[in-house]
Structures are given as C-alpha cells and as structure tokens.
Structure 1
C-alpha cells in the first residue's frame, strides 16, 4: 500500500503533515524506506523493516552509502539507474543487498529526488524483498529453457496455427525442413501445402476441433520447400486454447517422412515388378508353408506339373504323389541344407505330372521369414527337353566313341599290316642301291631311288600313326634316364647336316657343354629331329638357323630359330593339332612342302608326357619362326 501511495504522488511537492501517522506507517511496513542526503548517505531508515529484512541495527546503516551493502556485480546497474534518475527525477532497478549474515537478497528499488523544507536535495528509496519472485522467475526461465531445448532439438517440427491458417509459432526444425532461413510468424501455413492435400488437411483440423483432443490418426501430406520441391510429412494435431478455454488454433507436429515414402514407392514398384515376373515367369514358382502346404503358385507351375492351380491350393505337395520317395529325400536334404545357413545348389528331379506323364525339373528353394511364420519358395525350371537332348547326346557320344575305337583299331591294324611288306620293299630297294647300283642302268636306278624314297616316307608315316595310336590308347611308355641334353642336340644336328648342306643353310649352336636331364632319349631325339627338319624345310637357301639351350630357375629352355617363311596367327593355331599341316601349294616359296601334319602333334604329346611345354612364336609371314621347349628339371 505505502509503495503505491508513494508512486502516486509527485515527490517534488512532498510534505508531511502528521508526524505520528507517518511514523506509524513507516515502522509497520515490510518495505525498506530510506532517505539519503546530498552526499548519498543514509540519514533515515525505517529501522524495524531494515532489521527484519536485513538484520541491521539503525546505527549500522546511518551515515553509510547504499554501495557499501550492494553486490559488486550490480554496481554498474546501480550507477546507470542513478544517472537515469538524475535525468528523469526517478528510477526503478533491481539489485542485491548484503544481509548482515553475509548473504545477498534481491531487492526492487524505486527512487525519487526531492527537496526538503529547507530546500536541500534528498533521495527517497523504497525497496522491497523480491526473493520469491526471483525464484519463480528462475524456475520459469529453467522451464522455458527446458521446453525450448526439447522443442529445438527434437527431430519433429512444432507449429502453432490460428483458425485462419496463420503461423503463430514455428520451431527451428520447420526452417531446416523447408530449407528456409527463417519462417515468418505471419506466414500462411497453407501457402506451403500441396494443393491436392489442402482439403484433407482442413478435414483433419475440423476433426481435431470436434473431438477436442489429440487425434490418434496421423495425417500425411506434402509441404513445399524453398526450392519448390515437395517433401512428405506426417502430422499430429491438438487444439490450442486461450485463457478463457476458447479454441483459437492448433498445435501440430510435423515429421519428415520423405525417405519412408520414397522407400514405400520403391517397394510398391518392386512388388509390381515381382508380381509381373511371378505371373509371367516361364519357371514354376510355388509358395508353401513350413509343413509343405501349397499357399500360392503361378500359371507356369500348373503347366509344368500338369495341375489346375486352384485345385491344389491348400494341399500338401507330398499328398499329390508328384515325387517318388527318393526324390522327396533329395528335397528334404536341400531344405535342411538351406536351414543350416548354406545356400544349396539346384537339384534335378524327375516327377509325375497330373496327366500321368513324366517330366524333369531343376529345383531351387529359398526361405522367407515373415512376421508370423516361415515360408518356403520353390522355383521349378522345366528341363525335360534338355534331358532328352542330353540322352540323345550321350547315345551319340557312345556311338562316336565306338567309331573312334574302330578307327583307332583300324589305323593300328592297317599300320601293322603295312609295316611288314613296306619294310620288305624299302629294304629291297636299299639293298639294290647299295650292292647292285653299279651294275644297273641309270633308268633302272632312277626308278629304284623313287621306290626307296617313297618307302622311306611311308615307313615314317606308319611309325607316326603307330605312335599316335599308342598315345591315344595310353600305351606309350617313357624309358626315362639321365641324359646330356646338349649332346643329344648335337647328335641330331649331325644326322641332318647333309640336308643343311643340300639347302645351303647356315646353322649356329649356343649350347652348354653339359645339361643333364631325365628324359626318354629316343623320344626327345625324335622331337628335336622333327623341329630341326621343319626348320630346314621351311627356310629358303642361304637362310639361317640358330639353336640354343640355357638354364633358368628350375628349367632348361631349348629353342630353334629360323629365318624362314614365318607363320600367321591362323597357322600357329593349327600347328600342334593332328594333321595340322599348313598347305603352301603354288606359293613359290622355294621350301619343301612335303609332310603329314603329324610331327608337331607327336612332338607336343611327347613333351607333355615329360611334364614340359612347347610353343611357337612368329611375327608373321616371311619373318621367321621360333619353336621353344621348356623342360622341367624336376
């Protein structure tokens, strides 16, 4: 009361008419009343209130200044208030006063300047204890900070909208959601809503008003961003009331569900694609429960198994007697393998169709774990025609193997049968040339030499055919022994030196003195002789042949390089095949074109039996060739 009375009077005209009334009022109020002199020292206080509130006696206050009892941190605020009072004649401020027991009390002080009866300037201070108010304010601030922290850190945006659709409040999340710097409090909320969603949003709010409670339903709608794109949000809403309990708007939460919506859309598209694949797949797709009851199947399954699908839905596939007991065991094993965590391979099953005919399928399964139970999906690929084709191929292979055996037997038998009379012809011609050559006319000698040469070629051909027969029947045995490979190479070169002279060819040897290797001497000589003979035949006169042998790591490398007519890529693909002779008729290359096409094939087989490898290199026609062999030392 005293504070209000003092506030209602102009202290510039302050005067006291009744001393007793004044003292009665001053000593019985709870507010601190003080008068300061022109030195800003206390010259009067209502001592009862000072004692009750601050614990000081009158003599502890009089003559001292307010700053002697003020909190150091409040001095700037006090000085600013005094300055303001000097300008306006009055001021109000809050500061802390120290209690006698050395703790501080928050006070609200109002001050006025006035003149006393003698014309001296005085200052009147009226202060009241505001500790409880400060506690209430601090609690309110903490509460506000708490709720603001919750609102500003939740992922959902919170908005308050009036009944006209104007935004009264929008949490920072809405700005982030819409990529706006700041949402204006006067913005129209419906401005951001997709036009196709406005009507359902209005109905949603009408429902909220009608039920006067938070709706259990979530409304999903689209809201526009700064970039004019739309995002999906899910919203809940409750009514917003004024102090009289009247509905003045809505409090709504907005949660960004765009990712979920996109995922749902992709899932929907995926389901549509799967449904399309399921219905149009050429494979039979069947969905069963864990007990084997058929839940669903596509048309292809009906066609493959020979059943009308509606007639088998709800039946256990075992009761249809599609599979034999042995086939059922295979399916069960596949199922158990899948349950153990291993993805099993497809299995082939023979089945009895609904019309009694048999068919073959490739059977694959997968397990689908739903929320309620376990489902089994099986995929059946009809391989009946493939099985028939396989059977035909197997039968034809058997026939071909029989024909091949007949061919090999025939070649072996004919070769053996030809070998004996051919030896007689070849041997007789050789004797005639060696013993009776001087007693025969030149015409006769010419014919005998032709017989001898042809017999020699036929004899070599028959030996090769017999070797091939031994290799293909697995009867060729190697007689392995430690040999000096360098010595073998020199012997082979010596045996063919007459051909080198006839063809006027230069030969160079780069060989170590000793290269010990465990080989079949006769077979390796056969390979080296064949390679050197080919180099001589395919190199024009005055050409060069280089033979080298060197050791590297665990192998010996042998090569024959010639400056002959070279090889194309197509030529090299044929070389090591049976009868892989390269025809060069009419090319006028001045080389020997005779040969059976068996020599390199036999050479490769012999090197393979020794655990080595043979290959050829050439940069092309007329650029020479290099035949190489790698012998494994071990």
Structure 2
C-alpha cells in the first residue's frame, strides 16, 4: 500500500506544480544553476523547464536586469542568513525570452543545507507582477493630479476617460466614461497619431476655456489641462480695439501733417529758386533749415503712415462719397511750387464735379505720389 500512496502523492504534487500560476523552482547556489523549474516558467519567461536547466551558470546573468543585480544579491544574502522555513521576499526584473523585461515578485526559502549548515539550495516561487506595477504607477500618477485644481484636469485613453477632477466634472458633466468627450475627440485623435501637443478653445455659458492636450511618453493616454481664459480674451479684444483706434489716429494725423508740409517745403523751394540771388545769407540759411526740417518731418510722417498700415491690417477702408475733381485740384495746388521750381506747369482738363466712393486720405496719397513722381522724373 505504501508504494501506491507514494505514487499518488507524487502525482498530486506534480498536479499542483503544473497548475499553479507561478514559477516554482529549485536553485543550486553551489553549482549556480536551476536544478528544477516548473512548467509555468514557459508561460512567465518564455523558457521551457529544460531550457531553464540548460542555461547552467549563465541563467541569472542572462535573466536578471543589470539595474536590479544589487537588490537580487541582497535577497540572496538574506536567504543565506535565514533560518529554516523563514521566507525572504524580493522584487526585480527578469528578461523574457522575447527580450522584454517583466517585474517578478519572488518568495524564497532554504531548501537544502550542506553538512556544515551552509545553504546550498533554495526553493522559490515567483509571480509576474508587471501588470500590478503598471497599475500601481498609474494610480500613483493619478494621485499626483491636483484634485483641488480650480480648472479642469482629465486623463484620457483611446477608449474613454480615465480620470477627471471635480472642476472638470462640474464643467463637462461627463456621464459616460467609456467614450472621449466629443469636444476633445478630434484633437485627442491627432495627439495620439502625431505625439504632438494640441490646443483648442471652447465656450461654455459665455465663459471661454482653453484646453491643452499633452501626450505622455511611452503611455497610451493623454493629459488634458483646461483654463478659464474669459478675462484674457476680453482684454485681448479691448487691446485690439485700442490698436485700431491708435492706427486710425496715426493715419489721420499723418495725413493732416503731410498736407501743409508739402506747401511749406514747396514755397520755400520756390523762394530759393526765384530769389536766392536777392536774399542775404542769413535768410537763405533759414530757408534751407526750413527745407531740411521739412524733409526730416516728411520721413517721420512716412514712417508713421507705414506703422499705421502695418498695425491696421484688419481695418477696412471707410468709403465715402467725395468730389474727386476737388481732390485732384487740391493736390495740383499743393505741388505747383515744386513744378514751377523745375520750370514745369500742370494743366488740368477735368469736370468740375466727379463724385466717387473713396477714402479721401488714401486717394490723396496716391494722387500726390503720382504727381510728385511725374514732376521729378
């Protein structure tokens, strides 16, 4: 009866070893190799029990992650100092046959000692805790999210919302966590596909929020950070309006300065050209100072006009019904002195009234430039 009972016990033990979802092993510390490895080793590490044994003394150097060698050696030292039936635990990374590392949790005890009491073999059971470590990290990362943040904070994967703080829930009122909120779907998809930060602005009940969607390296989720920018947008609109007014002022002021300036310079040039030989040197010097001052002021006015045009790209021309005939005559009158100084004359043959929808200042510039160039060149 003893032999059948023994066989039954062996069968029972083998059944346990074959069905237990952990890697049970016996490791010989003197020979530095696995002398037994349960079948689950192939599931957990990708190696069959025979492959584990055939690794010989190269098993641990090939399997253990180099960064965890110190922790592993500390575990071995603890088991060397352990009493019988005392269990020593350790966590480290082992390399799977596919080349990737997995996290394992190892429970080890003394299995056999030498004659002088030194530990020669250890019995261990190791389980794969990679998923556990991953979830633990996710929980830790989520714990870092500022739940008291007054602005919306979300974490979203491809299937839905993983986390949302109180401020986000109050604003977005999410009911179904198994889908990405519609306002983020397009940008979240782009962020996943391109690993690039995206930003968007959304209006909620007259409040404007800016949302920044940030990819997380080596993770299959993105973080979404929102901020109420309503006041900032109002300030921006006010600044735009102020800039428009400033540009309009610069433009009109420049035109108002330019008109008399042309006359001043034209008549001073005319006086110099006609009466220079009859004037004393002091008056001639003053007239030339007037001319130089006019040129400097002309440059300043031109710069002001350029600045107003650059800053008023959104300004539309203010068209009004104006007498184009009067405007042409006015420009000719302004430039008569310049024409006379060059022994030229301007003859007009136009109708007394030519009405058109124009912006008077802009057309004045065009006509003035055309006539000036015609006189000079």
If the TM-score is normalised by the length of the shorter chain, which range does it land in? 0.3 to 0.5
Structure with greater contact order relative to length (CA < 8 Å, sep ≥ 6): 2
TM-score normalised by structure 1 residue count: 0.24
Larger radius of gyration: 1
TM-score normalised by structure 2 residue count: 0.38
Point out the structure with the larger helix share: 2
